[in-house]
Amino acid sequence: MATRNTMQSADSRAILPSDEFTVLPAIDLKDGRCVRLQQGRADAVTIYADDPVAMAIYWQTQGATWLHVVDLDGAFQGRPVHMAAIAAIRRALTIRLEVGGGLRTDSDIQSLLDTGVDRVILGTRACENFADLARLVGKFGAHLAVGIDARGGMVQTKGWVNTTAVKAVELAARVAGAGVATIIYTDTATDGMLTGPNYDATRAVCDAAGPAAIIASGGIASAADIAHYHALRISNLRGAIVGKALYEARVTLAELRQAAAT
């Protein structure tokens, strides 16, 4: 596949989030399998499927228009681990795909984009080397997103192992100011807990991020949670990532998509 390194193309503009509220099923990869972690803890893992490609195809057949994939081993090790599995997922799908986890170098980003991934997500690198972010935006454009993972309002890095002294709202403002089009915001205290999202924290990040589109993650347990997000009418809140509630059949993707549309 041809290298994608020019971000002024119609292709890059086309992947910007629409005005619709999008529900993104999540696939978290660990040891080659689809898992979910509770609050990001590597010692609190539940295995849901042995075949990530089959799982990705399933979500596409259920009506997903975007899929959110995280290389958990990559996030913990600081380098991509599941590149081959992600490339196989990309080949199997016609819907759009965003991927994060362990992307510390330009070549890591480019390698994913060369597989056909639509959007790559930087986390630790964006926080620890913020000065380089504007250059990355210039190079990768709308194919680049930043993941802001926070607990108690403070940013976490390295697979949520390290809690920094950086406030999530401050990082969101700086990231948006650097020209990043999309921010994935995760409240790690609610992630995998099925207790409902942290709406106040999400709103604060949305307010701080200005023009950047926000995709929220963490805590979603039901269609009512998506309906609540939708009812907030926050102009730059463009979607939500859902994992455990779908895998444990608390709700269907069709129900979540319906809640996002009404």
Does residue 150 sit within a domain?
yes
Say if residue 64 is exposed, middle or buried (CB neighbours under 10 Å; 0-12, 13-18, 19+): buried
Q: Is the pLDDT of residue 14 over 50?
A: no
> Quick one: pLDDT band at residue 12, thresholds 50, 70, 90?
very low
> Quick one: pLDDT band at residue 18, thresholds 50, 70, 90?
low
In three-state secondary structure terms, 208 is: helix
Does residue 238 sit within a domain?
yes
Does residue 15 sit within a domain?
no
Cα–Cα distance, 259 to 253 (Å, whole number):
10
> Quick one: pLDDT band at residue 40, thresholds 50, 70, 90?
low
β-strand partners of 156 = 149, 163
Does residue 199 sit within a domain?
yes
What confidence score (pLDDT) does residue 5 get?
A: 39
> Quick one: pLDDT band at residue 7, thresholds 50, 70, 90?
very low
> Quick one: pLDDT band at residue 124, thresholds 50, 70, 90?
confident
Q: What is the dihedral of CA 151, 169, 225, 258, to 10 degrees?
A: -130
Please state the pTM of the whole predicted model. 0.90
Does residue 8 sit within a domain?
no
> Quick one: pLDDT band at residue 150, thresholds 50, 70, 90?
very high
Tokens of 153: 């309002």
> Quick one: pLDDT band at residue 191, thresholds 50, 70, 90?
confident
Does residue 47 sit within a domain?
yes
> How many domains, the chain?
1
Strands 41-49 and 182-187, bridge-based pairing = unpaired
**In 40-175, at which residue ranges do the beta strands (DSSP E only) sit?**
41-49, 66-71, 96-100, 119-122, 144-151, 154-157, 162-167
- Domain of 104, CATH number, reads 3.20.20.70
β-strand partners of 163 = 156
Does residue 2 sit within a domain?
no
In three-state secondary structure terms, 249 is: coil
Across the range 205-233, mean pLDDT stands at 95
- Vertex 174, ends 172 and 175: CA angle to 5°? 65
Residues of the domain holding 205: 20-261
Tell me the average pLDDT of the chain.
Answer: 90
Does residue 11 sit within a domain?
no
Secondary structure of 87-115 in HEC code, one letter for each residue? HHHHHHCCCEEEEECCCCCHHHHHHHHHH
What confidence score (pLDDT) does residue 157 get?
A: 83
In three-state secondary structure terms, 181 is: coil
> Quick one: pLDDT band at residue 45, thresholds 50, 70, 90?
confident
Give the list of residues 6+ apart from residue 180 with CB closer than 8 angstroms, or none: 126, 133, 137, 144, 145, 146, 212
What confidence score (pLDDT) does residue 6 get?
A: 35
Question: Which residues are designated catalytic?
Answer: 28, 149
